[in-house]
């Protein structure tokens, strides 16, 4: 598979856009000032969960500034080259699920706070390189939408979690679309049919993610009888009927599910789409599974300009988290 090219600023501006759009929700692939890292609390006393978080933090810090968010009463771990930011209500949150977002617009970098009271405190922005005055407080856009998992291609298209309407009683899909357009410049919303897993199991993971504009990775659960098999079929079918914000049909790249299907009496919903991106690297979840290398090779081909770094993510997934949900990129102002 050939490398996928990133859009340049000139290409982005040349694409047909709604003339009224003045904000853009960047993708996590774009260069960043810093990477925000959440360290959720769990009941795990073995230390394995903290070890996995530390591996994510250390790997990210090798490639750029990392700011670790810790809660007011949380003792933050000390990690070389990682800046601790105490006193945040975001310290225990999954940043990829309702956490604050950053948008770029005519007035530069702005923050978006979604309607999650426990996750509404946007951190103070950080400066990436060299001396200079602090960036100061960001202009903040506040939304009444309780946003779940959302993945942006950076060009105005987003994949939206299936449970968003359930989290927003009284909202219609069209109202969600209008709100995302006004707040984040999203002009094409593709609602995924289901999440991997279920609310009854305490978590749900995204069955699809953008690799690049027009290219979508899909969790490929090929085992008939596994509950995620139907989700794979429906997700591929829906994406095959969709176009992005600039009118392109979507190329689907299947990423195999781990071969292991169960842990004890429970179905496993682990997915390699729980990867995280930092400048120069893709952090790929590893499960000590025979499909680990195959999935890493696929992700390495679609993110050809990044080093593939494997992280033992089993403790994260057992606690209902992914690598990607711990991370949020603060984009470089343009």
Asked whether residue 3 is assigned to any structural domain, the reply reads: no
Asked whether residue 16 is assigned to any structural domain, the reply reads: no
Strand partners, 198: 203
Asked whether residue 217 is assigned to any structural domain, the reply reads: yes
Which position has the higher pLDDT, 105 or 327?
327
Asked whether residue 322 is assigned to any structural domain, the reply reads: yes
Asked whether residue 275 is assigned to any structural domain, the reply reads: yes
Asked whether residue 236 is assigned to any structural domain, the reply reads: yes
Q: Are 329 and 28 in contact (CB under 8 A)?
A: yes
**The domain that contains 289 carries what CATH number?**
3.75.10.10
Q: Are 320 and 202 in contact (CB under 8 A)?
A: yes
E-assigned strand segments in 14-163: 23-24, 32-38, 66-69, 82-85, 101-105, 108-113, 140-142, 150-152, 157-160
Distance CA 206, CA 192 (A): 8
- Structurally, the chain folds into a number of domains equal to 1
pLDDT number for residue 75 = 60
Q: Are 311 and 53 in contact (CB under 8 A)?
A: no
Distance CA 50, CA 77 (A): 9
**What residue numbers bound the domain in which 168 lies?**
21-331
Lowest-confidence pick of 122-136, 280-294, 316-330? 122-136
Distance CA 86, CA 72 (A): 6
% of residues, the chain, pLDDT over 70: 77
Taking alpha carbons only, the member of 253, 208, 212 closest to residue 231 is 208
- Neighbour count for residue 132 (Cβ, 10 Å): 8
Average pLDDT, the chain: 82
Which position has the higher pLDDT, 276 or 33?
276
Label residue 10 by pLDDT band (50, 70, 90). Answer: very low
pTM attached to this predicted model: 0.86
309-325 pLDDT, tens per residue?
A: 999 999 999 988 999 98
pLDDT of 206 strictly over 90 = yes
Asked whether residue 122 is assigned to any structural domain, the reply reads: yes
Asked whether residue 124 is assigned to any structural domain, the reply reads: yes
Distance CA 176, CA 209 (A): 19
């Amino acid at each position: 598979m050939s490398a996928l090219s990133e859009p340049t600023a000139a290409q982005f501006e040349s694409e047909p856009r709604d003339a009224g759009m003045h904000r853009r929700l960047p993708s996590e692939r774009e260069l960043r000032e810093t990477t925000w890292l959440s360290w959720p609390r769990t009941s795990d006393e073995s230390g394995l969960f903290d070890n996995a978080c530390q591996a994510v933090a250390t790997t990210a810090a090798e490639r750029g500034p990392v700011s670790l968010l810790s809660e007011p009463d949380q003792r933050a771990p000390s990690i070389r080259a990682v800046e601790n930011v105490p006193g945040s209500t975001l310290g225990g949150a999954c940043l990829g699920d309702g956490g604050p977002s950053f948008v770029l617009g005519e007035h530069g970098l702005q923050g978006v706070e979604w309607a999650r009271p426990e996750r509404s405190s946007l951190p103070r922005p950080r400066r990436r390189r060299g001396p200079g005055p602090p960036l100061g407080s960001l202009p903040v856009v506040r939304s009444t939408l309780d946003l779940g998992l959302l993945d942006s291609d950076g060009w105005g298209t987003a994949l939206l979690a299936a449970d968003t309407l359930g989290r927003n009683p009284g909202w219609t899909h069209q109202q969600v679309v209008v709100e995302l357009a006004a707040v984040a410049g999203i002009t094409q919303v593709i609602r995924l049919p289901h999440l991997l897993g279920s609310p009854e199991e305490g978590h749900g993971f995204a069955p699809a993610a953008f690799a690049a504009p027009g290219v979508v990775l899909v969790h490929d659960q090929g085992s008939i009888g596994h509950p995620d098999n139907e989700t794979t079929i429906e997700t591929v079918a829906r994406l095959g009927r969709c176009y992005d914000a600039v009118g392109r049909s979507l190329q689907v790249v299947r990423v195999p599910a781990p071969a292991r299907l169960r842990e004890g009496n429970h179905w496993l919903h682990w997915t390699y789409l729980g990867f995280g991106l930092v400048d120069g690297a893709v952090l790929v979840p590893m499960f000590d599974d025979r499909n680990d290398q195959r999935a890493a090779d696929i992700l390495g081909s679609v993110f050809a300009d990044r080093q593939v770094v494997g992280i033992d993510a089993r403790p994260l997934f057992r606690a209902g988290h992914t690598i990607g949900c711990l991370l949020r990129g603060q984009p470089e102002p343009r």
